[in-house]
Chains A and B, each alone.
Chain A
């Protein structure tokens, strides 16, 4: 995903002659380039993300955890500006925690998604954040909601996001089948992310997976040498 939009006339950036001393990536904003994905199955959701955060052409963090807990059984995948998504996630975590205490029960995934949507839509001019909210609640089971840049919110059985997602829409559309099992979803997610990471320069590192169900959260990491292999890559 692209980094911060240039708001000022471009003549400003050529003024400072000491730009030669400080390379481009010291002044660029940190972006979670990214490929993120979430899939619903009967009984829960599978979420996956790559682990690369870039500042321009430099990888600022090669082991990022983009699957952020919002509540016990609700996670979000973050893509876009690292600062914006971290700040939004922190704010929503606080709001949802407060709401949950007031309610005296576990919050709904839709509530979390709505909180993200409210913030992303209200501040749409200032923010650069594409978020996938996924989790399990008692009322509707496993759910995936996508909140892309601009602040729309919609529920989808499978959702991909980030700069690397463009390369795997075909794979996802052709390989997704409704009513997959948990293991099939994990394999599907891992393969999709691997393909995206191979083709997108802003995605890479390791594959982080999380399965959220009534039993809780199981997290796993697939290291670079353990990724699924394809004939062309």
Chain B
């Protein structure tokens, strides 16, 4: 079947033409006085630490849309495989979909090899995908897990660079969390100490960064066991309004006595309506 137009030949590689178009559109929209919808970002503080028996991953639970908190209790620690979890900062949709895609591919890979997946494999898959999209997928990740070679922790940036380190932090609150880590990290910590360190690092992000808040989620991964503690700590407990006399929780009552608001003037205007058409439709109630 003949086509009307000739297809344009695209040389190999990803085409980023639409990104230029989007940038120009955004500039045009702002000139008209409107603003394009803001993507929901997980402002975020995420971090991870390698301790004696495994890794501890931590995250806050606030998701922001511009200056508004869109989700007060979102889950930022994503499942990759039974022994590997990944915290995500940046654009919420990007971190969610990227981790799901890699989790799916890793499961197929694991079935094909017949082995438990390695953290380095997940790292490779993630960095190669993010590099392919040249930073347009706004996903900054902390990947941690325990495999046959021991515990591993990676930080992965949106452009596709990775660092393998004993402790990492990412997100807008990463500076606050890193300050806590640099002060108190020691190699080969015990589990309780590691959990307390991660909890304190996330708390530093929650209290000192506007983009992070709400609760602290923890994920402790060891050989053969994963503790997904959600929430591990409710850093900011919301108070409940109580009845002043009897002390039981009360929702606001918006019933006011007659005469609370004084009536100053009263004007009655009759509306003269004439019936133009009247049709009756019987309802079938059988």
Is A178 close to B, CB under 8 A? Answer: no
Q: Bin chain A's interface residue count.
A: 20 to 34
Is A232 close to B, CB under 8 A? Answer: no
Among A23, A53, A60, A87, contact of B160 (Cβ-Cβ < 8 Å): A87
Q: Bin chain B's interface residue count.
A: 35 or more
Q: Is the CB of B162 within 8 A of A86?
A: yes
Chain A residue nearest to B66 (CB atoms) is: A18
Among A26, A58, A82, contact of B161 (Cβ-Cβ < 8 Å): A82
Per-residue A-contact encoding for B11-39, CB less than 8 Å = 1, 0 else? 00000000110011011001000011010
Chain A residue nearest to B35 (CB atoms) is: A15
Q: Which chain B residues border A87 with CB–CB below 8 Å?
A: 127-128, 131, 160
Q: Is the CB of A86 within 8 A of B127?
A: yes
Given known A-B contacts A30-B157, A64-B163, A8 and B23 have beta carbons under 8 A apart: yes
CB interface residues, B 157-210, toward A, < 8 Å:
157, 159-163, 165, 171-172, 175, 210
Given known A-B contacts A8-B20, A11-B30, A26 and B160 have beta carbons under 8 A apart: no
Q: Which chain B residues border A5 with CB–CB below 8 Å?
A: none
- Shortest A62–chain B CB gap in Å is 9
Q: What CA separation (Å) do A22 and B66 show in the bound complex?
A: 10
Is A104 close to B, CB under 8 A? Answer: no
Per-residue B-contact encoding for A17-47, CB less than 8 Å = 1, 0 else? 1100111001001100000000000000000
Q: What CA separation (Å) do A21 and B64 show in the bound complex?
A: 10
Q: Which chain A residues border B23 with CB–CB below 8 Å?
A: 8-9, 12
CB interface residues, B 223-240, toward A, < 8 Å:
none
Q: Is the CB of B165 within 8 A of A63?
A: yes
Is A16 close to B, CB under 8 A? Answer: yes
Is A222 close to B, CB under 8 A? Answer: no
Q: Which chain B residues border A4 with CB–CB below 8 Å?
A: 135, 159
Among A22, A55, A61, A64, contact of B43 (Cβ-Cβ < 8 Å): A22
Per-residue A-contact encoding for B96-139, CB less than 8 Å = 1, 0 else? 00000000000000000000000000001001101100110000
CB interface residues, A 216-230, toward B, < 8 Å:
none
Q: Is the CB of A82 within 8 A of B157?
A: yes
Q: Is the CB of B161 within 8 A of A21?
A: no
Q: Is the CB of B26 within 8 A of A21?
A: no
Q: What CA separation (Å) do A55 and B162 show in the bound complex?
A: 13
Q: Is the CB of A11 within 8 A of B27?
A: yes
Is A83 close to B, CB under 8 A? Answer: yes
Q: Is the CB of B161 within 8 A of A22?
A: no
Is B76 close to A, CB under 8 A? Answer: no
Q: Which chain A residues border B36 with CB–CB below 8 Å?
A: 15
Q: What CA separation (Å) do A33 and B174 show in the bound complex?
A: 20
Is A81 close to B, CB under 8 A? Answer: yes
Q: Is the CB of B175 within 8 A of A58?
A: yes
CB interface residues, A 159-204, toward B, < 8 Å:
none
Among A18, A64, A81, contact of B67 (Cβ-Cβ < 8 Å): A18
Is B152 close to A, CB under 8 A? Answer: no
Among A16, A82, A90, contact of B38 (Cβ-Cβ < 8 Å): A16
Among B26, B27, B30, B160, contact of A86 (Cβ-Cβ < 8 Å): B160
Chain B residue nearest to A32 (CB atoms) is: B161
Q: Is the CB of A61 within 8 A of B211?
A: no
Q: What CA separation (Å) do A22 and B124 show in the bound complex?
A: 27
- Shortest A171–chain B CB gap in Å is 30
Among A11, A17, A22, A63, contact of B172 (Cβ-Cβ < 8 Å): A22
Among A26, A61, A84, A126, contact of B163 (Cβ-Cβ < 8 Å): A61
Among B30, B159, B171, contact of A26 (Cβ-Cβ < 8 Å): B171
Q: What CA separation (Å) do A11 and B124 show in the bound complex?
A: 35
Q: What CA separation (Å) do A4 and B162 show in the bound complex?
A: 17
Q: Which chain A residues border B64 with CB–CB below 8 Å?
A: 18, 21
Q: Is the CB of A21 within 8 A of B43?
A: yes
- Shortest B95–chain A CB gap in Å is 14
Q: Which chain B residues border A22 with CB–CB below 8 Å?
A: 41, 43, 172, 211
Q: What CA separation (Å) do A9 and B25 show in the bound complex?
A: 11
- Shortest A197–chain B CB gap in Å is 19
Q: Is the CB of A17 within 8 A of B66?
A: yes
A-B contact pairs, 14 of them (CB 8 A): A4-B135, A8-B20, A12-B23, A12-B26, A15-B30, A15-B35, A18-B64, A21-B43, A29-B157, A30-B161, A53-B161, A83-B131, A83-B157, A87-B160
The 8 closest A-B pairs by CB, nearest first: A82-B161, A83-B159, A83-B161, A83-B160, A8-B23, A61-B163, A87-B131, A30-B161
Told that A15-B27, A63-B165, A83-B130 touch, could you supply 6 new A-B pairs with CB distance under 8 A?
A9-B23, A17-B67, A18-B64, A18-B66, A30-B157, A83-B131
